[in-house]
Amino acid sequence: MLGILSRKMSDSLAQPFRKQTRLFSEIISYGQKQEMEVFVFSPEDIHNDYVLGYTLTENKWTPKTFPIPAFVYDRAFLNKKSSTLIQKQLRKRSTFLNPAGLHELSRDKLMVSRLLQTGAVEYDGMHLIDADHFYLKPRYGSRPTRAIKVIKESMYTVVYKVQDEERKWIDCIVEDIPDDELLEVIQEVTPDYGYIMHEHIESVQVDGFQTMLRVLVQRGAHGIPHITSITGITTDSFHRETIGCEQIFSQFIDPTPVMSQVADTAQQTLKKLEHRFKSRIAEIGFDMIVQPDGKSRIVDMHSMPARFGSHMMTSPQRSYLALKTSIQAPVDYALYLSKSI
> Range of 151's domain?
117-199
Whether 80 and 154 map to the same domain: the answer is no
Contact between 221 and 334 (Cβ < 8 Å) = no
| DSSP letter (8 states) at residue 179 | G
Q: Is the pLDDT of residue 162 over 60?
A: yes
Among 169, 199, 229, the domain-final residue is: 199
Give the CATH number, domain containing residue 236.
Answer: 3.30.470.20
Single-letter amino acid code for the residue at 4: I
Contact between 42 and 7 (Cβ < 8 Å) = yes
CA gap 136, 119 in Å, rounded: 9
Give the pLDDT confidence score for residue 314 in this predicted structure. 45
Nearest to 230 by CA among 259, 198, 264, 272: 259
Q: How confident is the model at residue 93 (pLDDT cuts 50, 70, 90)?
A: confident
Q: Which of 32-36, 41-45, 46-50, 185-189 comes out lowest in average pLDDT?
A: 185-189
Whether 307 and 233 map to the same domain: the answer is yes
Average pLDDT value for residue range 252-271: 92
Per-range mean pLDDT, top range of 129-138, 163-172, 225-234: 225-234
Among 199, 229, 253, the domain-final residue is: 199
